[in-house]
Structures are given as C-alpha cells and as structure tokens.
C-alpha cells in the first residue's frame, strides 16, 4: 500500500471519529471536522457546478463542431443577471432570472406532479375489488378505502365532524401506519450506514474484523 | 416597473411550460430539457454568490476575532484547497494526451473525495443510526391510537425485515410469518397512505403553482 | 474544561492505537464467547428496563453507546441466520434468471458512496450472477459517483473470483458508460438514443460504436432487462416514470431501505418486476443467486441493531404505561 | 364474416406471392472468433439451410408515431407463419432505406413473437422505406454458426411529422383545466367578499406561539428551508411561508436566522426577509447575514446546522421544505437543545421523523396550504377551497370507478380507469 493510500485511510479514520464524537458533545475535533466539511463540500460543489454545468452544459454545447446549440446562451444571460445581485445599484435585475426560474418551475412541475402524483395514482386505485383470493379482495378494499379516507383527512374547507370526521379519522390511521412502515424501513437503512462506517473503522483501518 | 416585469416573466414562462406539456411540436417539446439546462447554468453562476457569502462571513469572523475564528479560517482554507485541486485537475485533464475528467480515479480530486469528503459525509449520514435509536426510546410512545398504529407498523416492519422476525414466528406457516406481515403492511395500508399523501401533494402543488403563476404569491420578488 | 476534553481525546486515541498496533488480528469470538456476550447484553437491557420503569430515563449518550456496541460486536461473531426469500426479491431474481445467455441488461447506478453499504452487496451479487451466466451488462449512472461504484463492484467480484479476470472481457461482457448529468432527461433522451447521451465509455474511453457489447444497442428496445440501484432522486421513480411507462422497459430495482416504501406502489402496479430493499433485500438476493457477500455478513449486525431499537421502544412504552397507570 | 374470410384469403395469397417473389438471402456471418465449437459455414449443407429458411413476415405497415415531435415511425407486420415457440423465426430484423431500391440498412431487431418496432431515429419530414426480415440461426456458445434471413416486401414511403396537440393527453388537459378553473374561480369569488370555512391546522396555528416563545426567552428563531433549490415547488412554498414567519418575527423584534444550502435560495430568502422587515416598518433591523449560505452539500449542510443549533441554542426551529435523510439529524439535534420545532415537508419518507421528533408537523398538502393560511388573505384562502373541490372530484371518481370496475361495467368499450391513463 502506497503512502498516499495509507495516509488517506488514517485521515478518513480521523474524520470518521471526529464526526462520531459529536454524539458525546460538541467539541474541538467536531468543530474542526465540521469546518473542513463545510469548506471542502462547498468547494466540491463549486467545482462540480463549474465542470458539469458551465463547461459541459454550456461551453461544450455551444462550441460543438457538428451542431452547436444556441439555447444555452439564454441560461448564461440569466446567470449573469443573477450576478447583478453583487451590486446594490442594479441588484434588482436579479429578479428577472428568479422570476424566470420560479415561473418555469411552477409551470413544469404543476403538470408533472398533477400527472404522476394525482392522475396515475387515481388510476392505480381504480381496480376491480372482487378479484383473486379472499385475502386479495380484502387487500383491494383496504387500499381503495384507505386512499379514500386519507384524502378526506386532507379536506380543509369542511369541518371534520360526523361521518366525514370519522372517515378523516380512519384516514389519519392509514397515514400513521404509512409513517410507521416508512420508519421501520428507514431504521434498517440508517443502521446499514453505520455498519458501513464500522466496517471501515474496524475492518479497513484497524484490520480487526475477519 | 421593478415588480411588473418579473411578474410578467413568471406568468408568461409559467403558462408556456403548462402549455408545452400538451404540444409535442418543436420547439415546445424541447422546453423541458432546455429548462433543466438553463437552470443548472443559472445555478452555476449563482453558486458564486453563495461561495462569496461563505467566504465573507468567515473572513469577517476572523477579522473581528469572534469566538471560534480559527474554524472560520479552516473553512476558507479547505474551500480554497478543494477548488484549486478541482480546477487544476480539470484543466490538466482537458489538455492531457489521454483526456480525463477532474473526478476520474487517480486524480487528486478523487483522493480528496474518497479520503476527506466521503468519510465526513458518510459518517454524518451514519449518525442517523444513533438518532433513530434515541428518537425511538424517547419519542415513540403509544400516547393515543394514532401513535400506537405508527408504532405497531414500525414494529412489524422492523422485525419482519430481518431474519429474527421469521425465527420468532417459525412455528407458524410461512404465509403467516413476520416477513409476510411486513410485506402486507407495505403492500396494503402503506400503499393506501402513500397514495393519499401523493394525491394531496399534487393538489397542493398545483394550487401553489397556480398562485405563483397568477402573481398572487410574489413575496419572492421582494419590495420595490 | 479544555483540559478534560484533551484527556478524554488522548485516552481515545491511545485506545485506537493499541487496537491498531497491539491487538491480534483478526479478532474472532468463539460460539461460547458470543453467547456470553449476548447474555451480558440482554442483562444490560434488563438493567436499563428496571431503571426506566423506576422513572430514571437513561440519557441520550447511553442509548448511543448501546447502539454502537450492538452494531460492532456482531462483526466478530460467527452465526449464520436462516433467511427466507421474499416475493419482491424473487421477482427481481426471476426476471434475471429467465434471461438467455447473451442477453443485454442495463444497470443504472444511481447512488453514491454514502449508500454503498446497502447497495454495493446487491451490485456485487448482480455482477457475479451475470458474469457466471453470460449475461451482458451495460452500466451507466445518473449520479456522478454511481458509475465508479460499478467499477468497484466489478473489482470486488474479480478479487473474490479470480477466474473472472480471464473470462470476463471489458467491452464484450460488460461496459461502463459512465455518468451523465440531467436526471430524468437523460432517460428521456436515452429513449431515442443511448449513443447521444453516452458517446464514449469511461473505463477505456472507447467510442460507442466500437464497443462489441453495444452493437445493435440503440435504445431501450434493444435491452432485455434492466436493474436500477437507487438511493434517491433521480432513481427508481424516474426510471419507472420514463423508461418503464414510456418505453416499456422491463425493470427491477435495488433500493436503499428508505426508498423502498416509495417503490411499493410501482411494484404492485407491476411497473417493477421486483424490488430489493436495503441490506436484507441484498442478503436475500445474495442467497437466491448463491453469490454470498457482504450483505449476508452485515445482516447479523443489522438484526442486532433492529432488536436494540425494538427493545428501546418497548422499554420506553412500558415505562410510559406504568406512569399513566400510576397517574390514574 | 365474409370480410374476414376475404381478408384472410388475401393475406394468404400475398404471403405466398411474397414468398416466391423475394429470394431468401443465404448469408453466413463472418465470425473470426477462435472458438472451436463454431461449425465453419462451408460445412453446413445447402439443403439443410433451405430447410431452415423461415417464411418472411407480411402486411408491413409503416406510419408516423402519433402525438410526438415527429421523431419516430412505427413499423408493424403480421407474424411469419413460422413464428411460434421453437419455430424457424428467432428474430425479426428491421431494415430501412431512403429509396425503395435500397440500400437497406439494419435498424434493429425484435425477438420472435413481436410484431411492432418503433424506429426512433427517423428524421422529421424525411421519406423512408422499410422491410422486415425474419431471421433464423443456430447459436453455439455465444457465437452463431450460421444464420439465414428472408425479407418481406417494402413498405413506404412514409415520413415522421410533428403534431400540435397531444390527443393522448386530452384527459389530462380537461383535468387540469377543471382543477385550475375551480381554484381560480374560488380565488375570485373570495376576492369579491365570499367567505369560506377553513379548518384549523395545528402546525400553522402554533407558528405565532413558537415565535412568541422565542421572544419571551430572548433567543433567536432558525428557519431551515430544506435542501432543494428553487426548481422544487416545495422550496417555493417554504419560501412563501418564510415571508409570513419573518414578518411575525420582525414584528416581535426577534432575530430570525435562515441558513440555506443553495445560492439562489439565499438570494430569494434575503429579499423576502428584508421585505418582511420593511413591511412592519423596521427595515434597518435587517442584517444581510441573517440569511447565509453554508454549502450545497446535503450532509455538509446538516453538519453545519447541527453546529449552529448547539452553539446558538435557538428557541424555535422551523424545518419546512424539501428534506431528505438529514431531516432527523436536524430534528433530533433541535430536540436535544429543547427548542420548539415546527416541521413541514412533502417528502413521504421523512414525515415519520418529523412526526416523532418535532412538536408539530405539516403533512404534505398542509405545507402547501400553510402560506395561504398564514397570510389570512381571502383570495389565497379561496385557492384552498378550490383544491378541495379538486379533491372532491377525485373522491367521486374513485367511488364511481371502483364500483364500475368491480361490476365489470365498461363505457363505450373502455374501462373507467382509462380516463386516468397518462401517456
């Protein structure tokens, strides 16, 4: 193993311990790790934005020898307008690119979410209930009823009272089960991450793990 | 004028993007890809603002010798080191005989990524293991029916997703073992709940977007 | 104050240095020792239980310490856990197993090293299975680090099974097209042409047309099966919405456990053939393919950790009910 | 009946004609692979080859793919009579040329049993001709020992063209039209003075209390707008809520800190907080570094926020916007310093953690409603009413649809769920 690889492992181990030490309390090592993390990650994304976005998406596309694109120029114009924020006098110009971004985001994602989150999910809910085994039928009914009641819970302009309130109540039960299921799965994920770090510390660095 | 033009831009661009969804004819079919490219280019310019802000605040901290100022210096140093390496490697890669990318294995940027950025990021992520446990011990109380349902679902899924769950219920037929319970919860109530949340989100999102396009929510533009 | 901190740090540093340079390696507990440790842990939890019931809640730091111990110790134990294959994982495997030799599989690596503990074992088992069954793999990534994770997985497979080094030819049996920025729009454009998005591979920098495995591969219609290892966005959701819905791609997904619940509706709607969720999904996949690896090893730690969390919840709630009874 | 018989006879006739008109190409692949298992082509006997020749597919139809930008042509054909499991057709090759005489180039292939191919490489407006070849081969160890094709008649000319309206999305168009119509209607209705009941949403009700508590304790408020950029509507919603919260805080003379992870969010949040301060008549109290950029990185941001929380000890924390795994890192740390926490996100996977670790959580749609609710402006409240109308329509559709599907009722030959098909 070369010096740089060995050194890298020691450094990584130090950072790993530094971050974990926050669990005990805020301390000098954590503060140092945090500062390095903020600096390095800000630098990392700065570089990535430069090469992946400006270089690849702009420079390479407009200088393409075969078919140069013209549209990335608009991005650059808006980007430069964004930088007017640095000046107090013409800073208000930066509202133009913001207005553009906000408008496009609103228009684009309005349709994307309306289709993939509402229309498609409703289509998924509309299924024949009486199909398959008894277990399947119960499951079908529960899915349809759960979706229905869950939606009732989100009604804002009607008081949750009477039968309506009852349905909303059942709706929140379904939401809670959903949260519980997500939680259970997430516990698994999070534990796996720590297992990965332990494998690094005690396996790769200390070489104690068989 | 300082407010009217941006509001007009939002309205026109927003409407254009809604309409583009229904028009397959060029140039409308390119709108989506164009926007993502434009957005990342704008973001690549905007990050200058963020980076300068970070440097400014850290520099002020050092200048005023506020508490913890050495850490502010550390932020500046590590930021500058990272971007220097990134730019040097990037240009070296472009002009090399065998062109490579700034993040390819073997570059200094990759070394920094693997040995500095990655352990910090992965460990920060891994802290969640501890936080999850602490939240479980402290916050998950079967206070009422709702909380109880949440707990029960979590309980079955957690047990069902590791072999221990099936070991505990090994006396039952496979169909009724813990992993099957977990799968049932995922497939049935979880699907229903997820769907209700997703549909609700879609409605809220359409409403919010519409308010923005119509210029009713325009606080993002600030004052005159 | 600072002095105390320094002493603690020094002690920890010395402990690690001893572990690094003085302890025998590797450490392995015999079965008896393992059982004793488990009993001790159980006793410890019983003690905590008594404390909590008495109204003395243990602090956050103790909980943290317990979790740490529960995650660390199983690494040195040698138990194997019986494991049953869930239908979701079986679905993913069946899709792969039904492929004839020479079939082309598109594997998208949409995660970064932070999620590697969960997804890397699946990826390794996947490569080993494909290499053994003459299934051609086309690798790509929607996350910048994804494609490199694929290289690491292949490297690990070759380290473990050295004969792959002779049998598996880069370019003929697998190819890594690398990362392309643009999230779901990459998938959209791939629907027209892979080449437009990936003009060259990243391992040898070969032009698209000169790579044997990519001959006749223009877009999704030339792909027999696909698998997506995903840790977030862009990932399985985007693949399903674009490639599966628009281009009828046959797809299975390997997800981090956090992502998995969101993929279930797609599984139910048959938009995904199968789903491997988190580490246990990975362990099941390793079992069904017969390519054992890290997920199986990690699963003991994972099980311990789940038990710790469950026991903590139970203790907390038991104490909570005691208090409520007392209040009434 | 008679039409069907006639059609069948016709296709039969055509196929027989085609079979005789077009010679079957006998080609052997040039295989230089050293694999000894491959039988050299010369050794394969011609009679054997003739026997292995599949019949060509027929009825080739090529037409523009509808509802697209003129980028594809769909070629379909009737299966060769030899196309059955274990039959002589292994694959179909799709061949394309610019003129009926050729030269034809191979575009791609489909497996046996499929009768459609979408040529996604067609140039808009250019004329093309297509042929389909049935392919049979023997395969040994990854290589082919021999292969043989027979080609169909030429179809064409055909060109791809772009449409101005995607008719496949007509249902979506009607849907979004009704929904936006309802929302806009109620916005204008409430503008003209109509009043609507809006139920209490616990998390939103508590915003003022949380700010008030921070004021009493003389400590600051932290507002974390999620980690996504301005191209996420959740961030836009969060930014709007920030405007309302900042105004309450400015009115109470309580410092509000907004650490952000995206530069564009920083710019926007700064405008908003500044505006809120001037709206309550205290523009001088606003300092630029109340809104500060930390890093674009998810966990770098989380680490920095954790540090800020434990060192500054804010009394109230708002975590509203798009959150991923960092949600619990922030929420638990916030909890450990005893701050009152109000969270809101539309990320289903993060909601359980907010529910567990925060005092109040705005679930999905509630977060989108929050800014309208906090503004107390009638026209914004009207949009919430409009949303509810959309919800009611969806509910009705679910009931009707499930009933119709369960009892197998179809409308004009299509299933009810097809109304909600997204293409």
Q: What are phi and psi for residue C207, nearest 5 degrees? A: -70, 150
Which chain A positions have a beta carbon within 8 Å of B126's beta carbon?
Answer: 190, 193-194, 196-197
Q: Are B156 and A185 in contact (CB under 8 A)?
A: no
Which chain A residue's Cα is nearest to D311? Answer: A26
Q: What are phi and psi for residue D144, nearest 5 degrees? A: -110, 135
In terms of residue numbers, what domain contains C49?
A: 27-79+298-327
In the block, which residue shows the tokens 């040329």?
D97
Which chain B residue's Cα is nearest to C301? Answer: B162
Q: Concatenated DSSP letters for A21-52?
A: GGGT---HHHHHHHHHHHHHHHHHHHHHIIII
Instruction: Let me know whether D46 and D145 are in one domain.
Output: yes
| Per-residue pLDDT at A17 | 93
Instruction: Let me know whether C43 and C146 are in one domain.
Output: no
| D358-414: pLDDT as tens digits | 999 999 999 999 988 888 888 888 999 999 999 999 999 999 999 998 888 887 777
Closest CA to A42 of B80, D235, D224: B80
Instruction: Let me know whether D206 and D265 are in one domain.
Output: yes
Residue from D237, D279, D335, D392 whose CB has the most chain B CBs within 10 Å, to mutate:
D237
pTM of the model: 0.85
What residues are paired with D360 via a beta bridge?
A: D342
Instruction: Let me know whether C116 and C49 are in one domain.
Output: no
Closest CA to D264 of C97, C68, A145, B51: B51
Q: Which residues neighbour C37 within 8 Å (Cβ) at sequence distance 6 or greater?
A: C29, C73, C77
Could you tell me if residue D346 is inside a domain? yes
Q: Do D180 and B46 touch (CB under 8 A)?
A: no
In the block, which residue shows the tokens 């219920």?
B169
Instruction: Let me know whether D365 and D389 are in one domain.
Output: no
Could you tell me if residue D250 is inside a domain? yes
| Per-residue pLDDT at D21 | 43
Collapse the DSSP code of D377 into the 3-class scheme (helix H, G, I; strand E, B; otherwise coil) and give the result. Answer: coil
Q: Are C219 and C246 in contact (CB under 8 A)?
A: no
Q: For chain B, give the percent of residues with pLDDT over 90.
A: 47
> Which among B24, B200, B223 has CB closest to D162?
B24
Give the CA count within 13 Å in the CB-facing half-sphere of B46.
27
Q: Is the pLDDT of residue D320 over 60?
A: yes
Q: Do C5 and A27 touch (CB under 8 A)?
A: yes
Q: What are phi and psi for residue D140, nearest 5 degrees? A: -130, 120
User: DSSP character for D149?
Assistant: E
Instruction: Let me know whether C99 and C209 are in one domain.
Output: yes
- Domain count within chain D: 3
Q: What are phi and psi for residue D196, nearest 5 degrees? A: -125, 150
Could you tell me if residue C86 is inside a domain? no
Q: What CA–CA distances, in Å, run from D416 to B30, B195, C246, D400, D406? A: 32, 19, 21, 9, 11
Q: Do C193 and D121 touch (CB under 8 A)?
A: yes
| Per-residue pLDDT at D31 | 38
Q: Do A98 and B6 touch (CB under 8 A)?
A: yes
Q: What are phi and psi for residue D95, nearest 5 degrees? A: -115, 145
Instruction: Let me know whether C34 and C107 are in one domain.
Output: no
> Which among A45, A119, A156 has CB closest to D175?
A119
Q: Do A129 and D397 touch (CB under 8 A)?
A: no
Average pLDDT, chain A: 90
Rounded to the nearest angstrom, the minimum Cα separation between C101 and chain D is 7
Q: For chain C, give the percent of residues with pLDDT over 70.
A: 99
Return the H-helix or E-strand segment holding D97: strand D91-97
Rounded to the nearest angstrom, the minimum Cα separation between A41 and chain D is 6
Q: What CA–CA distances, in Å, run from D37 to A34, D141, D192? A: 62, 8, 85
| D194-237: pLDDT as tens digits | 888 888 888 898 999 999 999 999 999 999 999 999 989 999 99
Q: Do B120 and A19 touch (CB under 8 A)?
A: yes
Average pLDDT over residues D45-56: 78
Q: Is the pLDDT of residue C144 over 60?
A: yes
In the block, which residue shows the tokens 């003085």?
C22
| Per-residue pLDDT at D33 | 37
For the ranges A178-187, B155-164, D62-71, D300-309, the one whose mean pLDDT is highest: D300-309
Instruction: Let me know whether D173 and D300 are in one domain.
Output: no
Which chain B residue's Cα is nearest to A6? Answer: B115
Instruction: Let me know whether C283 and C304 are in one domain.
Output: no
Give the model's confidence band at D307: pLDDT under 50 very low, under 70 low, under 90 confident, else very high: very high
Between residues 46 and 75 of chain B, which touch chain D (CB distance below 8 Å)?
A: 46-51, 53-54, 57, 60, 68
Tokens of C275: 């789903």
Collapse the DSSP code of D261 into the 3-class scheme (helix H, G, I; strand E, B; otherwise coil) and give the result. Answer: coil
Distance CA D281, CA D276 (A): 9
Q: Look up the ipTM and state it.
A: 0.88
Instruction: Let me know whether C75 and C112 are in one domain.
Output: no
Q: Do D164 and B25 touch (CB under 8 A)?
A: yes
Contact D163/C at CB under 8 A: no
Q: Are B41 and A58 in contact (CB under 8 A)?
A: yes
Contact A33/D at CB under 8 A: yes
Q: What are phi and psi for residue D192, nearest 5 degrees? A: -90, 20
Q: Looking at A193-197, D121-125, D254-258, which range is the least confident one?
A: D121-125
Could you tell me if residue D93 is inside a domain? yes
Q: Which residues of D73-101 are buried (b: 16+ CB within 10 A; e: fewer)?
A: bbbbbbbbbbbeeebbbbbbbbbbbeeee
Supply the CATH number for residue C148's domain: 3.40.50
Contact B135/C at CB under 8 A: no
Could you tell me if residue D421 is inside a domain? no
Q: Are C96 and C89 in contact (CB under 8 A)?
A: no
Q: Is the pLDDT of residue D11 over 70?
A: no
Q: How far is CA D272 from the centre of its chain?
A: 31
* CB-neighbour burial class of residue C39 (10 A; exposed 0-12, middle 13-18, buried 19+): exposed
| B1-46: pLDDT as tens digits | 678 899 999 999 999 999 999 998 888 888 888 888 899 899 999 9
Which chain C residue's Cα is nearest to B174? Answer: C84
Q: What CA–CA distances, in Å, run from C90 to C87, C282, C284, C299? A: 5, 12, 9, 18
Could you tell me if residue C62 is inside a domain? yes
| B137-183: pLDDT as tens digits | 887 888 888 889 998 998 888 888 777 787 888 888 877 888 888 88
Instruction: Let me know whether C149 and C265 are in one domain.
Output: yes
Rounded to the nearest angstrom, the minimum Cα separation between C8 and chain A is 11
> Which among C68, C181, C316 has CB closest to B137?
C316
Give the model's confidence band at D115: pLDDT under 50 very low, under 70 low, under 90 confident, else very high: confident
Contact D118/C at CB under 8 A: yes
Q: Which residues of B100-124 are buried (b: 16+ CB within 10 A; e: fewer)?
A: bbbbbeebbbbbbbbbbbbbbbbbb
Could you tell me if residue D112 is inside a domain? yes
Q: Do D142 and C221 touch (CB under 8 A)?
A: no
Q: Do A156 and D310 touch (CB under 8 A)?
A: no
Which chain A positions have a beta carbon within 8 Å of C280's beta carbon?
Answer: 188
Q: For chain D, give the percent of residues with pLDDT over 70.
A: 88
In terms of residue numbers, what domain contains D22?
A: 14-158
Average pLDDT over residues B69-94: 94
Return the H-helix or E-strand segment holding A8: helix A3-20
| Per-residue pLDDT at D29 | 38
Between residues 146 and 175 of chain B, which touch chain D (CB distance below 8 Å)?
A: 150, 154
Instruction: Let me know whether C67 and C162 are in one domain.
Output: no
Q: What CA–CA distances, in Å, run from B179 to A176, B157, B185? A: 20, 8, 10
Q: Are B162 and C280 in contact (CB under 8 A)?
A: yes
Contact D336/C at CB under 8 A: yes
Instruction: Let me know whether D361 and D400 are in one domain.
Output: no
Instruction: Let me know whether C264 and C306 are in one domain.
Output: no
D22 CB neighbour count, 10 Å cutoff: 16
Q: Are B60 and B69 in contact (CB under 8 A)?
A: no
Give the model's confidence band at C112: pLDDT under 50 very low, under 70 low, under 90 confident, else very high: confident
| Per-residue pLDDT at A169 | 94
Average pLDDT over residues A172-176: 94
Instruction: Let me know whether D214 and D361 are in one domain.
Output: yes
Instruction: Let me know whether D400 and D343 are in one domain.
Output: no
Contact B223/D at CB under 8 A: yes
Instruction: Let me know whether D281 and D268 are in one domain.
Output: yes
Could you tell me if residue C169 is inside a domain? yes
Between residues 254 and 273 of chain C, which touch chain D (CB distance below 8 Å)?
A: 258-259, 261-262
Give the model's confidence band at C305: pLDDT under 50 very low, under 70 low, under 90 confident, else very high: confident
Tokens of D277: 């301060």
Peptide bond into B27 cis (omega under 30): yes
Return the H-helix or E-strand segment holding D130: strand D128-140
Q: Is the pLDDT of residue C59 over 50?
A: yes
Q: Which residues neighbour A145 within 8 Å (Cβ) at sequence distance 6 or greater?
A: A170, B192
Q: Are D333 and D306 in contact (CB under 8 A)?
A: yes
| C318-328: pLDDT as tens digits | 888 888 888 77
Contact B191/C at CB under 8 A: yes
- Domain count within chain C: 2
Q: Do B161 and C312 touch (CB under 8 A)?
A: no
Average pLDDT over residues C180-196: 81
| Per-residue pLDDT at A75 | 93
Give the model's confidence band at D45: pLDDT under 50 very low, under 70 low, under 90 confident, else very high: low
Q: Do D108 and C222 touch (CB under 8 A)?
A: yes
Instruction: Let me know whether D150 and D58 are in one domain.
Output: yes
Q: Which residues neighbour D365 within 8 Å (Cβ) at sequence distance 6 or greater?
A: A154, B197, B200, B201, B203, B204, D346, D387
Q: Do B192 and A174 touch (CB under 8 A)?
A: yes
Average pLDDT, chain B: 88
Supply the CATH number for residue D58's domain: 2.60.40.10
Collapse the DSSP code of A94 into the 3-class scheme (helix H, G, I; strand E, B; otherwise coil) and give the result. Answer: helix
Instruction: Let me know whether D178 and D257 are in one domain.
Output: no
Instruction: Let me know whether C200 and C171 are in one domain.
Output: yes
List all chains that touch chain B, counting a touch as 3 or more CB pairs closer than 8 Å: A, C, D
Q: Are C208 and C180 in contact (CB under 8 A)?
A: no
Average pLDDT over residues C105-112: 93
Could you tell me if residue D231 is inside a domain? yes
Contact C305/A at CB under 8 A: yes
Residue from A191, A197, A207 whose CB has the most chain C CBs within 10 Å, to mutate:
A191
Q: What CA–CA distances, in Å, run from C224 to C95, C107, C220? A: 10, 11, 8
Instruction: Let me know whether D356 and D401 are in one domain.
Output: no
Rounded to the nearest angstrom, the minimum Cα separation between B224 and chain C is 36
Could you tell me if residue C19 is inside a domain? no
Could you tell me if residue C241 is inside a domain? yes
A193 CB neighbour count, 10 Å cutoff: 26
> Which among A16, A79, A181 has CB closest to B42?
A79
The contacts found for A128-133 with CB under 8 angstroms, 24 or more apart, are A128/D402, A128/D405, A128/D406, A128/D408, A129/D402, A129/D405, A129/D406, A130/D406
Contact C189/D at CB under 8 A: no
Contact D413/C at CB under 8 A: no
Could you tell me if residue D190 is inside a domain? no
| Per-residue pLDDT at D44 | 61
Q: Which residues neighbour D225 within 8 Å (Cβ) at sequence distance 6 or greater?
A: D235, D238, D239, D242, D258, D260, D265, D269, D320, D321
Instruction: Let me know whether C120 and C243 are in one domain.
Output: yes
Give the model's confidence band at C3: pLDDT under 50 very low, under 70 low, under 90 confident, else very high: confident
Instruction: Let me know whether D258 and D111 are in one domain.
Output: no
């Amino acid at each position: 193993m070369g010096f740089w690889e060995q050194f890298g492992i020691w450094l990584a181990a130090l950072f790993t311990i530094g971050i974990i030490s926050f669990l005990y309390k805020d301390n000098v090592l954590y503060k140092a790790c945090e500062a390095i993390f903020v600096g390095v990650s800000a630098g990392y994304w700065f570089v990535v934005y430069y090469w992946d976005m400006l270089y690849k998406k702009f420079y390479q596309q407009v200088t393409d020898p075969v078919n140069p694109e013209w549209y990335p120029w608009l991005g650059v114009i808006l980007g430069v307008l964004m930088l007017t924020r640095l000046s107090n006098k013409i800073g208000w110009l930066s509202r133009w690119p913001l207005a553009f971004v906000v408008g496009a985001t609103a228009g684009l994602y309005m349709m994307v979410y309306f289709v993939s989150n509402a229309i498609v999910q409703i289509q998924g809910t509309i299924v024949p209930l009486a199909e398959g085994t008894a277990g399947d039928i119960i499951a079908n009914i529960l899915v349809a009823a759960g979706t229905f009641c869950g939606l009732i819970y989100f009604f804002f302009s009607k008081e949750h009272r009477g039968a309506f309130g009852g349905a909303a109540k059942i709706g929140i039960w379904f939401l809670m089960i959903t949260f519980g299921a997500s939680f259970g799965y997430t516990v698994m994920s999070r534990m796996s991450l720590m297992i990965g770090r332990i494998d690094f510390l005690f396996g790769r660095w200390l070489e104690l793990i068989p | 004028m300082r407010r009217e033009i941006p509001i007009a831009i939002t309205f026109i661009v927003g409407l254009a993007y809604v309409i583009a969804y229904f028009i397959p004819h060029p140039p409308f079919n390119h709108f989506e890809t164009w926007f993502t490219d434009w957005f990342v280019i704008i973001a690549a310019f905007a990050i200058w603002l963020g980076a300068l802000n970070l440097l400014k605040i850290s520099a002020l901290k050092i200048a005023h010798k506020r508490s913890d100022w050495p850490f502010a210096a550390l932020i500046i140093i590590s930021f500058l080191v990272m971007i220097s390496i990134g730019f040097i490697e990037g240009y070296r890669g472009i002009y090399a005989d065998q062109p490579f990318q700034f993040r390819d294995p073997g570059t200094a940027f990759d070394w920094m990524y693997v040995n500095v950025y990655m352990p910090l990021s992965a460990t920060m992520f891994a802290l969640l293991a501890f936080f999850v446990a602490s939240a479980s011990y402290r916050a998950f109380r079967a206070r009422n029916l709702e909380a109880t349902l949440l707990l029960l679902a979590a309980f079955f899924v957690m047990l069902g997703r590791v072999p221990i769950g099936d070991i505990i219920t090994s006396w039952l037929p496979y169909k009724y073992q813990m992993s099957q319970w977990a799968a049932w919860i995922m497939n049935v109530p979880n699907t229903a709940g997820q769907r209700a949340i997703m549909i609700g989100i879609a409605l809220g999102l359409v409403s919010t977007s519409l308010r923005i396009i119509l210029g009713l929510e325009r606080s993002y533009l600030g004052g005159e | 104050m600072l002095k105390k901190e320094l002493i603690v740090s020094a002690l920890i540093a010395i402990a690690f240095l001893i572990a690094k340079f003085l302890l025998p390696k590797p450490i392995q507990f015999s079965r008896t020792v393992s059982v004793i440790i488990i009993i001790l842990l159980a006793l410890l939890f019983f003690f905590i239980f008594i404390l909590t019931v008495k109204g003395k809640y243990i602090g956050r730091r103790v909980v943290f310490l317990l979790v740490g111990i529960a995650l660390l110790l199983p690494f040195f134990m040698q138990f194997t856990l019986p494991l049953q294959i869930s239908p979701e994982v079986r679905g993913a495997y069946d899709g792969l197993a039904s492929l004839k030799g020479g079939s082309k599989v598109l594997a998208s690596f949409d995660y970064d090293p932070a999620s590697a503990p969960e997804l890397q074992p699946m990826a390794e088992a996947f490569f080993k299975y494909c290499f053994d069954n003459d299934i051609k793999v086309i690798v790509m990534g929607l996350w910048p680090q994804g494609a490199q994770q694929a290289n690491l997985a292949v490297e690990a497979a070759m380290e473990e099974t050295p004969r792959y080094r002779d049998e598996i030819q880069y370019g003929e049996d697998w190819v890594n097209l690398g990362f392309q920025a643009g999230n779901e729009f990459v998938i959209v454009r791939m629907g027209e042409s892979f080449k437009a998005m990936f003009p060259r591979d990243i391992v040898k920098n070969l032009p698209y047309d000169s790579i044997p495995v990519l001959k006749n591969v223009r877009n999704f219609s030339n792909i027999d099966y696909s698998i997506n290892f995903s840790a977030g966005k862009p990932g399985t959701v985007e693949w399903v919405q674009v490639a599966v819905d628009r281009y009828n791609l046959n797809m299975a997904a390997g997800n981090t456990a956090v992502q998995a619940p969101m993929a279930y509706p797609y599984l139910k709607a048959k938009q995904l053939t199968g789903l491997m969720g988190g580490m246990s999904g990975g362990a099941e996949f390793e079992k069904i393919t017969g390519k054992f690896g890290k997920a199986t090893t990690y699963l003991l730690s994972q099980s311990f950790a789940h038990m710790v969390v469950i026991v903590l919840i139970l203790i907390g709630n038991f104490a909570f009910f005691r208090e409520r009874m007392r209040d009434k | 009946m008679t039409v069907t018989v006639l059609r069948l006879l016709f296709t039969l006739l055509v196929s027989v004609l085609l079979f005789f008109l077009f010679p079957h190409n006998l080609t052997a692949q040039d295989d230089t692979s050293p694999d000894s298992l491959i039988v050299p082509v010369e050794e394969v006997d011609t009679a054997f080859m003739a026997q292995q020749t599949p019949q060509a597919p027929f009825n080739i139809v090529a037409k523009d793919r509808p509802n697209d930008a003129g980028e594809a042509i769909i070629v379909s054909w009737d299966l060769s009579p030899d196309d059955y499991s274990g039959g002589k057709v292994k694959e179909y090759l799709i061949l394309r040329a610019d003129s009926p005489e050729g030269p034809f180039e191979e575009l791609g292939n489909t497996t046996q049993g499929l009768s459609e191919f979408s040529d996604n490489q067609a140039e808009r407006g250019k004329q093309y001709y297509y042929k389909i070849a049935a392919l049979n081969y023997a395969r040994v160890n990854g290589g082919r020992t021999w292969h043989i094709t027979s080609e169909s008649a030429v179809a064409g000319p055909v060109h791809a063209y772009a449409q101005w309206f995607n008719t496949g999305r007509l249902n979506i168009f009607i849907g979004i039209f009704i929904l936006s119509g309802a929302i806009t209607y109620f916005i204008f209705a409430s503008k003209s003075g109509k009043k609507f009941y809006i139920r209490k949403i616990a998390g939103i009700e508590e915003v003022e209390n949380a700010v008030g508590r921070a004021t009493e304790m003389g400590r600051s408020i932290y507002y974390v707008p999620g980690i996504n950029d301005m191209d996420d509507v959740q961030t836009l919603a969060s930014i709007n809520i920030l405007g309302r919260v900042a105004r309450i805080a400015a009115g109470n003379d309580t410092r509000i800190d907004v650490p952000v992870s995206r530069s564009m969010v920083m710019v926007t949040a700064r405008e908003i907080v500044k505006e809120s301060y001037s709206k309550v008549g205290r523009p001088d109290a606003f300092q630029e570094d109340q809104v500060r950029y930390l890093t674009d990185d998810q966990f770098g941001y989380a680490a920095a926020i954790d540090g800020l929380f434990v060192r500054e000890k804010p009394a109230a924390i708002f975590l509203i916007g798009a959150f991923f795994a960092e949600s619990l890192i922030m929420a638990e740390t916030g909890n450990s310093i005893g701050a009152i926490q109000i969270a809101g996100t539309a990320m289903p996977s993060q909601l359980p953690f907010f529910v567990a670790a925060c005092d109040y959580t705005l679930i999905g749609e509630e977060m989108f409603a929050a800014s309208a609710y906090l503004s107390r402006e009638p026209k914004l409240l009207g949009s919430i009413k409009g949303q509810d109308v959309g919800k009611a329509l969806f509910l009705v559709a679910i009931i009707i649809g499930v009933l119709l599907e369960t009892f197998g009722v179809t409308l004009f030959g299509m299933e009810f769920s097809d109304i909600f098909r997204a293409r």
